[in-house]
Amino acid sequence: MLDKIDRDLLQKFEYGLNPQSPEASSIPALIIGYGEMSTIFVINVPGQESLAYKRLPIFRTSDEMESYESIFQEYNSRLGEIGLNIPAFATVRVAPREGNMVIYNVQARLDARSIGNRLIHSLPEEGVMALFRLTLAQINKVFTFNESGTGLKFGIDGQISNWAVADYKEGFTIRSDTKLYYIDTSTPLMQRNGIEQLNPELFLRSAPSFLLWIIRWLFLKDIMTRYYDFRKVVIDIIANFYKEQLPELIPALISAANDFFAGDGKKFNILPITEKEVLDYYKEDAMIWRLYLALRKMDRFLHLRILRKPYVYILPGEIKR
């Protein structure tokens, strides 16, 4: 756990935040990364350089906040017990001037060059393949635990951007004993006796209200369950290399994944992955997220320009696909 988080600074940051342009807030934010659903930033004042933040303005009651914090704490701790390395973390509650209550997820900041989606553009192909095999070994720990009969199961988003090399140094070489961090724990997917512990409605609150019915109908079940399926998690990782503009690596990644499933992952009886299904998966996934972001931007326009209401969410910038 992280200690000595400056809660007063976070409260002042929230009061002065410009969600449409965080870098222009009264206390400026430095954007260091975008996900499909969230923005990662540093508060750009002295003493904050070692901390990375995600902001979740999605809570309407104290009970919702307490439940999320409890699940988040257990998810991080349990993944650590399973054998994953999780950076030091904390949560901080903040009361905004208007809108939903806010939790800031805080994590020890890592060297940007150590993050997987940066590494794959700087490593030689054999280094990328070694990194991929390391991620498979880490994910295998989660799914091995999920089959252990404890009644607990954990979902994991294994995308390469969610991993980082520990103790990164310029010019390092990835080896079989290289330590990785898993860094994306803000959506703590955890089932207890088959029942999802995280309330998905929390994360639907950032969606345009006019889309809620179709998201629930068409996508919610898939989004909430795909990360409990080892094969789908790996397909998602490989498909992400299209987004990273490295399609030439995909045949080798598929081969490495299938070798893994025939070897260390044999106990899961997973069918081989094909290049066609990876491409089909990517096209569908890219279409969904591209449309979703466009509609969120429309919703922001409606709030700010038509309804003259605040829009409290920080939207990601343009994501190259």
**Cα separations (Å) of 175 from 119, 126, 141, 166, 218?**
14, 11, 18, 12, 42
Phi, then psi, of 271 in degrees rounded to 5: -70, 150
Spatial neighbors of 300 by CB under 8 A, at least 6 apart, are 20, 311, 313, 315
Angstrom distances, CA of residue 196 to CA of 137, 151, 187, 225, 308: 25, 11, 12, 9, 37
Question: Which domains does the chain show, CATH number per domain?
Answer: 7-108 (3.30.200), 120-306 (no CATH)
The dihedral through the CA atoms of 149, 152, 155, 160 has a sign that is: negative
pTM to 2 decimals?
A: 0.93
C-alpha separations of 262 from 32, 156, 181, 268 in Å:
38, 21, 26, 9
Separation of alpha carbons 149 and 147, rounded Å: 6
**Nearest CA among 227, 246, 248 for reference residue 117:** 246
pLDDT computed for residue 36 by the predictor: 65
Grouping H, G, I as helix, E, B as strand and the rest as coil, residue 190 is strand
Please list the rounded mean pLDDT of every run of 10 residues in the chain (321 residues): 87 94 94 80 94 94 96 97 97 90 95 95 96 98 96 96 93 91 95 93 82 69 86 97 96 98 96 98 88 88 91 81 66
Q: Which residues pair with 41 in a beta bridge?
A: 31, 53
Within 10 angstroms of residue 315's Cβ, the number of other Cβ atoms is: 17
